[in-house]
Amino acid sequence: MNSTRRRITKAVVPVAGLGTRFLPATKATPKEMLPVVDKPAIQYVVEEAVTAGMSDILMVTGRNKRPLEDHFDRNYELEETLARKGDQDKLARVCAPTELATAVHYVRQGDPKGLGHAVLCAAPHVGSEPFAVLLGDDLIDPRDPLLTRMAEVQARYGGSVVALMEVDPGQIHLYGCAAVRPAGDGDTVRVTDLVEKPAPGEAPSNYAVIGRYVLDPEIFEVLRRTEPGRGGEIQLTDALRALAVRADAGPVHGVVFSGRRYDTGDRLGFLQATVRLACEREDLGPEFRSWLGEFVSRDVLVPVG
């Protein structure tokens, strides 16, 4: 069977990064375990993969990441206690992460040598099928099904697909950046080149690569030959660039996302995600919104003193 046309069932979630933007919180706790309202960020990401039909999850982990494994495992003591009390609501919340995916697998990256290296660690598990990569840092609102759309684009064109978002020109140096040309569909572009965190004035566009990918397994061969790039790390962007500019490789397309996305690996993005999702929650929202409205008008907008 042509490897580029299979239904995608495997999702790789690299979580071996050090999370230095969140120190000291991330000294002993993985940043992916920080709660956005009352669920760790990683659970939103796994839910997103499962919703898109990818229920075979591989997490690429590292030292200090044990809480992630515990979160998706059973906790019999807690389950029994809640069952004895008849607290079905909390019991359901404890069991939800365990029952979410068909299987959650783990592989250790060892040294965090970069996102490209983390993805390469998934090669034995993924084999020769196209697969998704979801970064735990990026929270995509469940009402905006980006990954499902990316899988459709991959099924149509083959090759690899990246998620792109138009950002302010002053922000593009923080992202991988794509040079693109139209591809026919309204939200889809052909990626002709990529550059990781371009210097000011050197970005080929305002299209930033965000943390969702659907990759052809040919990426592994390229990653094996990719030298450390920006920051001395093996960059996934560099390997994707090699594919995008090669005539004999599958194409690289971009899906331009205009939905709601939060950068939960960054303190400001994390706060924005927490406030927004809390406001929209049925249980907490009404009380929180009313407090927030008062707080903003009384304590934030009115100058102190």
Closest approach, Cβ 115 to ligand UTP, in A, equals: 4
Q: From CA 127, how far away is CA 132, in angstroms rounded?
A: 13
* Residue 16 interacting with ligand UTP (CB under 6 A): yes
Binding span for ligand UTP by CB under 6 A among 45-53, 65-73, 107-115, 243-251: 107-115
Site for ligand UTP in 229-268 (CB under 6 A): 265
Among 104, 118, 203, 278, binds ligand UTP (CB under 6 A): 118
Q: In sequence order, what are the beta bridge partners of 107?
A: 60
Nearby residues of 115 by Cβ (< 8 Å), 6 or more positions away: 14, 17, 135, 233, 234, 235, 236
* Residue 20 interacting with ligand UTP (CB under 6 A): yes
Closest to 237 (Cα-Cα) out of 174, 290, 299: 174
* Residue 115 interacting with ligand UTP (CB under 6 A): yes
CB nearer to ligand UTP: pick between 45 and 183? 45
Among 6, 90, 105, 113, binds ligand UTP (CB under 6 A): 113
Binding span for ligand UTP by CB under 6 A among 72-80, 112-120, 247-255, 297-305: 112-120
Our CA angle for 141, 190, 160, nearest 5°, is 65
Does residue 205 sit in helix, strand or coil?
Answer: coil
Closest approach, Cβ 35 to ligand UTP, in A, equals: 17
List, as own/partner pairs, every contact residues 35-38 make where C-beta atoms lie below 8 angstroms and the sequence separation is at least 24, other chains included: 36/139, 36/262, 36/264, 36/270, 36/273, 36/274, 36/277, 37/274, 37/277, 37/278, 37/281, 37/284
Among 4, 10, 59, 114, binds ligand UTP (CB under 6 A): 114
* Residue 97 interacting with ligand UTP (CB under 6 A): no
Question: Exposed, middle or buried by CB within 10 Å (0-12, 13-18, 19+), for 88?
Answer: exposed
CB nearer to ligand UTP: pick between 83 and 174? 174
* Residue 109 interacting with ligand UTP (CB under 6 A): yes
Identity of the residue numbered 175: Y
- In contact, 112 and 64? CB cutoff 8 Å: no
CB nearer to ligand UTP: pick between 48 and 137? 137
Q: From CA 283, how far away is CA 288, in angstroms rounded?
A: 9
* Residue 40 interacting with ligand UTP (CB under 6 A): no
User: Which stretches of the chain bind ligand UTP, using CB under 6 A?
Assistant: 14-21, 60, 109, 112-115, 117-118, 135-137, 265
